[in-house]
Homo-oligomer: A and B are copies of this chain.
């Protein structure tokens, strides 16, 4: 087997939700766009890829990860710098955690600043029109492009296709990352925060993945602090899924799912009737085949 000039990096998309906002943990380097916590696979010391990843996140952000899941391995030669001297592979991971105070050099960014077209909690966001217009221009006269645009940006909107959307925007030259190597002035782009390398692509992969997983695995409970009210749970789901939900139906669904159990307690949030507090029931996994929050249920 060829073993020359391959470098493998481990990259973590660490997600949390606070103040009804989905956030991703990034490291800051002066003069560079924010990046994901990441580092090269230590061939000798990291017995598993995941172990190495946990180590980097710990070293770079002081965070001890809980839930971790591999996302995808990126290895396109032409989307990495230095392609002529080293072949870079990047193994992306998704991690879920409660938000913590960032250590120096790290920060939590609003995911919707990075992928603003993904936030549909109050209907389609304003920036989506801008994006659609730009894509329409881009697709003009190209049957296949029009089709890809219709498929990824809908209607109907499909939250799960976050990666396809980012890739389409990248291909259409509508995100700043596309122009980093060229050092040329990028044309006017829909406003969104760029990331280092192709980290935003990994983020988009993570967003799509978590949206899918929410429906059939109880991963949401990695993100809420116990005990929680049903509204807190709902807002957390909405922040990640990017769509607004019907309150009473969400209640019905969650209560009927066996996912949670009320503590007798209630908590008052200033105004309004105090809400009952709940905690997660891990036993649900033994009782039901795919415990999750089901389909979008607007």
**Chain A residues at the B interface, C-beta cutoff of 8 Å:** 1-9, 40-43, 46-49, 70, 72-73, 75-78, 86-89, 91, 147, 150-151, 154, 156-158, 160, 285-286, 289-290
Q: Assembly of this chain: how many copies?
A: 2
B72 and A40 within 8 A (CB): no
27 of the cross-chain contacts (CB-CB < 8 Å) are A1-B8, A1-B88, A2-B7, A2-B40, A3-B6, A3-B86, A6-B6, A6-B7, A6-B41, A6-B43, A8-B75, A41-B87, A46-B77, A47-B76, A47-B77, A48-B76, A70-B72, A70-B73, A73-B73, A73-B91, A147-B286, A150-B286, A151-B286, A157-B289, A158-B289, A158-B290, A160-B290
B40 and A1 within 8 A (CB): yes
The 9 closest A-B pairs by CB, nearest first: A1-B7, A1-B40, A49-B75, A73-B73, A43-B87, A3-B7, A158-B289, A2-B40, A47-B77
Bound state CA distance, A286 and B146, in angstroms?
11
Bound state CA distance, A3 and B73, in angstroms?
17
Q: Which of B7, B40, B43, B151 lies in contact with A285, CB distance below 8 A?
A: B151
Bound state CA distance, A3 and B88, in angstroms?
9
Bound state CA distance, A158 and B8, in angstroms?
34
Bound state CA distance, A158 and B285, in angstroms?
12
Q: Report the minimum CB–CB distance from A123 to chain B (whole Å).
A: 17
Residues in B with CB closer than 8 Å to A73 are: 49, 70, 73, 91
CB-nearest residue of chain B to A154: B289
Known: A77-B48, A158-B289, A285-B151. A43 touches B1 (CB 8 A): no
Bound state CA distance, A41 and B87, in angstroms?
10
Q: Report the minimum CB–CB distance from A29 to chain B (whole Å).
A: 16
Bound state CA distance, A87 and B91, in angstroms?
15
Residues in B with CB closer than 8 Å to A40 are: 1-2
